[in-house]
Amino acid sequence: MVKKLVLFYLISFLCVCVAVAQPKIKLDVIYISSPYGVGLEEARNLVNRSILTIKNQLRTSLILRSFDVRAQRRTWRISEVRELLRVWERRIEKNPRAKKGVITLIIVPPFRDDEFIERYWLAGLANRACGVANRLNGGVAISAAQSFNYLGAPRLEESFVSMVHEMGHLLGASHTTSISMMHANAMAYANYGLEFRPVSYNEIEFCLTTNNLR
């Protein structure tokens, strides 16, 4: 009986340690509404699914701190992705709540093709690997999301992969050559059930541990 009690408390202690060991990174989401992008409910579902995926695959908890909704002011072209990211970086750096341990995901409508007006592209970009450790803004990523493309093909799965991929960068992961969540062209393999490879997990562990976020 005594041995069983000791074993029970030991298991309970280990479970608590595992739960405590999960770093808690704060996530701010800014959703840009547009008739060309995803709806508000779809955007919320994509964010919740992304948070769950990162928790299950990377043992890292993202705490959704805010979810702001804003209207689209202009249509950005695919060649302007980096410019758009810089715009948001400057805005977020002025926010006193932006700091180390916080990442910001901006969900934007798809980018218009530079030549064909009716064609739109999904794309994502993070400002830096291990951006979560940045003291100025905690790391910023933009990710385009769309329900259906101009041909009527569903694009929610690609939108989901783009979100998780860019947040993976902010947590410390770089691109991989193998087909995984961090492949440079991960959206092309969106229907393959992508996961993070051990190399990505190790990179994220290094980022969080060396910056006292673990």
- pTM assigned to the model: 0.87
- Residue 181 pLDDT level (bands cut at 50, 70, 90): very high
Per DSSP, the residues of the chain read -HHHHHHHHHHHHHHHHHHHHS-EEEEEEEEEE-TTS--HHHHHHHHHHHHHHHHHHH--EEEEEEEEEEE--SPPBGGGHHHHHHHHHHHHHT-TT--TTEEEEEEEPPEEPSS-TT-EE--EEES-TTGGG-TTTS-EEEEE--SB-TTS-B-HHHHHHHHHHHHHHHHT---BSSSSTTBTTGGGGGGG-----HHHHHHHHHHHHHTT--
Can you give the pLDDT at residue 104? 96
pLDDT, tens digit, for every residue of 2-11? 444 444 444 4
Can you give the pLDDT at residue 119? 80
- Residue 21 pLDDT level (bands cut at 50, 70, 90): low
Can you give the pLDDT at residue 158? 97
Can you give the pLDDT at residue 23? 66
Can you give the pLDDT at residue 177? 94
Q: What is the mean pLDDT of residues 46-61?
A: 97
Tokens of 177: 């050559």
- Residue 214 pLDDT level (bands cut at 50, 70, 90): confident
Angle 197-146-159 (CA atoms, 0-180°, nearest 5)? 5
Complete domains list, the chain, with CATH: 24-210 (3.40.390.10)
pLDDT, tens digit, for every residue of 136-172? 888 999 999 999 987 889 999 999 999 999 999 999 9
The residues, any chain, with a CB within 8 Å of residue 137's CB and separated by 6 or more, are 89, 92, 93, 95, 98, 99, 104, 127, 131
Mean pLDDT over the full length of the chain: 88
Tokens of 97: 């709540």
pLDDT at 84 over 60: yes
